[in-house]
Amino acid sequence: MFKRDGKKDPELFQNVSEGLKKLYRTKLFPLEDTYRFHDFHSPALEDADFDNKPMVLLVGQYSTGKTTFIRHLMEQDFPGMRIGPEPTTDSFIAVMHGEQEGLIPGNALVVDPKKPFRKLNAFGNAFLNRFVCAQMPNAVLESISIIDTPGILSGEKQRISRGYDFAAVLEWFAERVDRIILLFDAHKLDISDEFSEVIRALKNHEDKMRVVLNKADQIGTQQLMRVYGALMWSLGKIVGTPEVIRVYIGSFWAQPLLVPDNRKLFEAEEQDLFKDIQGLPRNAALRKLNDLIKRARLAKVHAYIISSLKKEMPNMFGKENKKKELIANLGEIYARIEKEHQISPGDFPKLAKMQEILANQDFSKFQAVKPKLLEAVEDMLANDIAKLMTLVRQEEAAMPSQAVQGGAFEGTMNGPFGHGYGEGAGEGIDELEWVVARDKPTYDEIFYTLSPVNGKVSGAMAKKEMVKSKLPNTVLGKIWKLADVDKDGFLDDEEFALANHLIKVKLEGHELPTDLPEHLIPPSKRGL
């Protein structure tokens, strides 16, 4: 469908998933296929890649608690699970939902069109023998799938070859998952060469990365501060970006804390991490859209690189020498393309890796520049993606709040063990007496020094006392609104006591409620 000015209308889509599939098949895949993108960067995407549930990838050195972390989330053992201080998990295990409990071996997995693993076939038998899917009925797995990985080795052990490209397999998963969790043990922070290589391989996916400093209950507060500082310093050197990756500190298993000094910190951190994981189903469509944009930008740059190399090649003699010369000068070709097409340097593939792959390619089979293919991708990025973005927002609004349910996520939802229960504004929630009454005699003394008229003090008089807390006016204004229960512009002795109680709540570092909870309403004002 064309408009009068000759421009094509953006595609019309029924839903985000179908839209992504159609855009990939009709606009991006032809460009990838023509310029052999799949030989250089990433295998072609399949329908299952767009349909699958959000996935969480766990990566870490051996014995950092990856498998225990999964067990903690699901509150259930899964088939093939092994836990121990030595490197126990020697396979990639995709933990997924299924009606029957059982294991599916790697060779069977890669021929199942409903699973998003078919392209892992390229990594060969050495990998497939070390890849299984653990299926089981579990509430957590109804919303997400979790990928457990072999413990990354350190010292002598890392020199023994695995028989497959470990970093490349992780990179393949990283492209397709929604969250990458790097686990570290507070006791052994050394980052091995293999782990450094893995983190660098995941460099293009920093937006998906989160770090967990596990087993933090085994050391005291002072030592924990030092360990945290050392971890941030080490990560800064490897990741090489000024932005800091979010680090969650805690003890992620269902055992008593060894050193309970930091219990509150661990609870808050666990809650934050759970919220992050629970939000994955809601943001899954947006993540897939974002990954498709990233892929399209790389495919576009790749097409310019390949067509530039083709253009430089001689028709008859000296092909091999010219190929070597072009590979050696690839950096200059990058700079020329960057300038000619106004492309950001961050969109280019890694130079060394590209040179390594090009050395084994037949340049005579490369294609010259095909403007129509590039225009189709440009049109997709400029018009169709904007249409899909609107659809993403519509789908999010139409769906009830999607969040991961079950397992450890249920334990902290409600009741006295919910995060922050009985603290701050929640203090006294299940007590019969009004909690403010405890300190009311102290507040009354202050109240009567303010010369109340008809048992009430004016806003101006109350302000004189309230500003002594040194809280900003925006906060004090909110406290005034909450405390003036009958909205008459004055505070009686109960309301004044309530205002002081809320000031104390804020000074102790807690958040103020949006609306005044039932248990904080003064007894004489209840039922108004």
**pTM exceeding the 0.95 threshold for the entire prediction:** no
- Taking a C-beta distance cutoff of 8 angstroms, is the pair 498, 527 a contact? no
252 vs 217: CA distance, rounded Å: 10
Angle 500-501-503 from CA coordinates, rounded to 5°: 60
Distance CA 326, CA 295 (A): 25
Q: For residues 182 and 211, give the distance between their C-alpha atoms in angstroms, rounded to a whole number.
A: 5
Q: What CA–CA distance (Å, rounded) separates 211 from 249?
A: 9
Element (H, E) at 385: helix 385-398
Question: Are 263 and 314 contacting, i.e. CB atoms less than 8 angstroms apart?
Answer: no
Inter-CA distances, 89 with 21, 66, 213, 268, Å: 35, 9, 19, 29
Q: Give the separation between CA 376 and CA 399, rounded to whole angstroms.
A: 32
SS3 content of the chain, % helix, strand, coil (to 5): 55, 10, 35
What gap in Å lies between CA 198 and CA 439, rounded to an integer? 57
DSSP 123-157: GHHHHHTTEEEEEE--TGGGT-EEEE-PPBP-GGG
How far is 502 from 480, CA to CA, in rounded Å? 9
- Rounded distance between C-alpha atoms, residue 255 and residue 257, angstroms: 6
How many CA atoms are closer than 13 Å to the CA of 329, on its beta-carbon side?
Answer: 13
Give me the sign of the Cα torsion angle 233, 239, 241, 247: negative
Angle (deg, nearest 10), helices 459-466 and 493-507: 30
Q: In whole angstroms, give the CA distance from residue 435 to residue 243.
A: 44
- Cα 184 to Cα 517: distance, rounded to the nearest angstrom: 40
Q: Tell me the pLDDT of the chain (528 aa) as tens digits.
A: 444 444 455 556 677 888 898 999 999 999 999 999 998 988 888 888 888 889 999 998 887 888 889 988 888 888 888 766 655 557 899 999 999 899 999 999 998 888 889 889 888 898 999 999 999 999 899 989 999 998 887 654 444 567 888 888 998 999 889 999 999 988 877 777 778 888 888 877 888 899 999 988 888 889 999 998 888 888 887 776 656 788 999 888 877 888 888 888 888 898 899 989 988 888 888 888 888 999 999 999 999 999 998 888 887 777 888 888 888 998 999 999 999 988 888 889 888 889 988 988 888 888 888 999 999 999 998 888 888 888 888 877 776 566 777 777 775 555 555 656 667 778 888 888 899 999 999 999 999 999 899 999 999 999 999 999 999 999 999 999 999 999 999 999 999 999 999 999 999 888 898 899 889 999 888 876
DSSP conformation class of 188: B
For residue 1 the two structure tokens come to: 């469908």
